[in-house]
A and B are shown apart, each in its own frame.
Chain A
């Protein structure tokens, strides 16, 4: 047990060291993320101008709870049919596509750093180390996107159906199923994040695409299952909590500042987690 704890701490520490050495990458990732954030914002403002005034205030002393459920269902239905939403979804879809095209390039730089970890600001150098694996990185991104979309879609749809049932029949079993589904989805996404990270580590180390997938599956399922399952979740919860606190401090007067800080912090946490997981898998291979 003690050995394992030490191993987790070592893993996180290794990730921390590598992240410190990759400050330029962190900066790059933050800038890209801020660019997309700004684009999203431009698309959302017209929709929110319509939506926000229609969100009912919490006046439970005068308005029964059921009214809010009805309003949510009516409003949701109207919102889903509104051309503004369709326009918004179209643009967000385009941005997502753009991000997907960009992601393997950025991931390539991130995992390139693993091959010869040292502080560097030269993206050209990082690029040259792994550029021959670009197509494989694209393949991983595509698979990850498809599987995650399917899973998110499936979970979202099931939750929608269950929520409808809950509203209609108020059964405790339905509520329990919803909670169970959410917990299962969190675990699955957490493990999935580790698996795809590990897969990219194997690619960076020279494995072929399928061979890398098999090795990643073996590593994340058999050799470091607990870490693969828990680390992303812990990072996600901690980051989210810190960012939420940060925003609570800065809002509402400095929303722009808080958004920038949150994005930088978010990218830092993501990079740290990626490098921590990568360090763990590499150590396993060395063993």
Chain B
């Protein structure tokens, strides 16, 4: 546990004397901080993260109005070295109200899920005070640092009456009301089901100098965008959720005590330590099943499944894939340190809530997905990978989304390939039509480019690193990256430095080409020159090849001859001959890597060469012209 605010005192007093003087003070402060800890913090001695922020939230669900009424106490400990005069609070539910940047960018459609415009969502702050009662509401104003959209109210800046000194804490008391939208983009209601993600006023992340290569310390706050996800400091949560007694509640962290229903309601309290977000879901229809796997994680993992009845037949599959995945990820990356892991399967029709990760809680696809579909396993594996890449290794999802989505997709491919050997081919074969740099902020990608680059191209680039270093070395890299940066916020450069250090190779140029720019390896056959030999029907072929952005891979080339036989040769751009010379019957076609086994190549159309005569072209032109004309004549 390092508190940067505690260092930096300039003095000439010898170290031993300083220690002697300050030790009682440190012990006293330690004692003070112990007694002022929240109950959640006090129960856990060994903090895994810096715990810069502590939330105590009481929230009540109004099932009729589909509203959340809440009060919240936030304690933020200033980790920097400069006084802070303002704070930033995320009010994410306002993304679902008219004019928001989220709606403008998404057009009300995300991942093929359509927002019901008749059912908007919003968040109202009804009280905002300092612990001493100072009213901060008049000092709160909405800000739009990313796009200047005046109608966007997803981020608020609050100017403080007096600066927060480094190392000290700020306590806020907040009252809020949230109107849940009809479920869309990770949040809302569907009939009686409720998915509460990004539902509470949430403090932005504060970055100290040096964190993510930052020169000056300060807040890192962005609006809610169509494609961006989230970024926050690690801390503790103690959340009491009041719901009708018939509801089952799934949430981040673990249940503090068994709730006792009273007057038709029940208060369910959850505690979560060393997490940077808190989500919950509730429904009277959930089938809840709990299983503990003592062999998993550092303390054993209790998996809680909140299943929609439509997927009851798939119950065992959810448990099985979770157990298998956490076992593999534990071996590959490191042990999962939390005690619980909750899986929510939303009801059919609540697709907007599906496929999302939160610390210690994930949502699977909604139960409209056929139970026999492999998509059940796929989504669980992907979201479980996010427990590592996002949940614990918490990169800035606004500014560097590729780090968690790319690593999650890569991990998903590795895990799913243990079940289905050719699974990763799906990633290799999905066309990436608009390659873009991976290091862009989420909101700078177009609709198609976001998923294609941040998920797929990123996973391919990571597979490309594996091609260079080998699988075992890649796992060693990821294990080091996980252990070094868990419960902190690494950047792309931190990841690169880890790769360089562990592999002993320099990947700077690799990153410059494939991460910071949109380049990928591109093999192509330039031409095939054939000369007749003395033997009738046999030719001497010269196949001229070309490659850009080579990373030294061996690539297979399949050649089909006129007599019907095929030959496969392997070519390396660095060490292989060019042109490749071979003898045989006339070549019908030659194809570099026809099975798409090279993850680093995304431009496959020029891998093929097929000699075509002028006569063939003329015949095709006649045919095509005729059939086009034929169609046109009858249509118009």
Interface positions of A (Cβ within 8 A of B): 33, 36-37, 40-41, 44-45, 48-49, 52-57, 59, 62-64, 66-67, 69-71, 73-75, 77-78, 96, 100, 144-145, 148-149, 152, 189, 193, 232, 236, 240, 243, 247, 251-252, 255-256, 258-259, 262-263, 266, 270
Contact = CB atoms under 8 A, between A and B. Distances in A.
B566 A255 contact: no
A256 B626 CA distance: 11
Nearest to B426: A66
Nearest to A144: B636
A77 B635 CA distance: 26
A1 to B, nearest CB: 29
Contacts of B429: 66-67, 69-70
Contacts of A55: 610
B635 A189 contact: yes
Contacts of B616: 52, 252
13 contacts: A33-B629, A36-B629, A41-B622, A45-B621, A48-B621, A53-B609, A54-B606, A54-B608, A63-B558, A77-B431, A145-B636, A243-B630, A259-B623
Interface in B604-636: 604-606, 608-612, 615-626, 628-630, 632-636
B425 to A, nearest CB: 7
A57 B588 contact: yes
A256 to B, nearest CB: 7
A60 B588 CA distance: 15
B293 interface: no
Contacts of B630: 240, 243, 262, 266
Interface of B: 425, 429-431, 433, 558, 560, 566, 588-589, 591, 594-596, 603-606, 608-612, 615-626, 628-630, 632-636
Contacts of A48: 617, 620-621, 624
A270 B636 contact: no
Contact of A44 (B588, B609, B621): B621
A70 B430 CA distance: 6
Contacts of A63: 558, 591, 594-595
A247 B623 contact: yes
B609 A45 contact: no
Contact of A78 (B425, B605, B635): B605
Most chain A CB within 10 A, of B429, B560, B620, is at B620
Contacts, number: 132
A252 B594 contact: no
Contacts of A56: 589, 591, 608
B497 to A, nearest CB: 34
B632 A74 contact: no
Nearest to B610: A53
A53 B628 CA distance: 21
CB-CB nearest 7 A-B residue pairs: A40-B625, A255-B619, A73-B431, A63-B594, A77-B433, A259-B622, A44-B621
Contacts of A78: 605
A67 B634 contact: no
Given A57-B610, A73-B431, 7 more contacts: A49-B612, A53-B612, A59-B589, A67-B596, A74-B433, A259-B623, A263-B626
A73 B623 contact: no
A70 B429 CA distance: 6
A67 to B, nearest CB: 6
A286 B566 CA distance: 70
A203 to B, nearest CB: 17
Contact of A262 (B588, B618, B626): B626
Contacts of B610: 52-55, 57
B622 A71 contact: no
Contacts of A49: 612, 617
Contact of A40 (B425, B589, B594, B628): B628
Contacts of B609: 53
A73 B632 CA distance: 25
B634 A96 contact: no
Contacts of A259: 622-623, 625-626
B626 A152 contact: no
A117 to B, nearest CB: 23
A270 B589 contact: no
Nearest to B625: A40
Contacts of A232: 634
B605 A44 contact: no
Contact of B612 (A52, A59, A66, A70): A52
A75 B629 CA distance: 24
Contacts of A36: 629
A63 B595 CA distance: 6
Nearest to B432: A74
A236 B606 contact: no
Nearest to B525: A53
Contacts of B425: 64, 66
A62 B619 contact: no
A74 B622 contact: no
Contact of B636 (A64, A73, A148): A148
A255 B623 CA distance: 8
Most chain B CB within 10 A, of A53, A75, A240, is at A53
A189 B632 CA distance: 11
A75 B594 contact: no
A284 B547 CA distance: 70
A106 to B, nearest CB: 11
A88 to B, nearest CB: 11
Contacts of B611: 53
Contacts of B608: 53-54, 56, 71
Given A48-B624, A53-B610, A71-B605, A37 B629 contact: yes
A44 B591 contact: no
Most chain A CB within 10 A, of B623, B629, B636, is at B636
A246 to B, nearest CB: 11
Contacts of A256: 622
A52 B614 CA distance: 11
Contacts of A252: 615-616, 619
Contacts of A59: 558, 560, 566, 589, 591, 594
A40 B611 CA distance: 24
Contacts of A37: 622, 625-626, 629
B129 to A, nearest CB: 50
Nearest to A69: B429
A74 B431 contact: yes
B633 A52 contact: no
A70 B628 contact: no
A23 B626 CA distance: 22
A252 B613 CA distance: 12
Contacts of B594: 59, 62-63, 67
A239 B609 CA distance: 36
A64 B597 CA distance: 11
Contacts of A240: 630
B588 A52 contact: no
A182 B610 CA distance: 33
B455 to A, nearest CB: 13
Most chain A CB within 10 A, of B558, B626, B629, B630, is at B626
A116 B521 CA distance: 71
B603 A74 contact: yes
A189 B621 CA distance: 26
A280 B195 CA distance: 64
A247 B606 CA distance: 31
A70 B431 contact: yes
B421 to A, nearest CB: 13
B625 A193 contact: no
A124 to B, nearest CB: 25
Nearest to B588: A57
Contacts of B591: 56, 59, 63
B634 A189 contact: yes
B290 to A, nearest CB: 32
A199 to B, nearest CB: 14
B195 to A, nearest CB: 23
Contacts of B620: 48, 52
B595 A236 contact: no
B495 to A, nearest CB: 29
Contacts of B633: 33, 266, 270
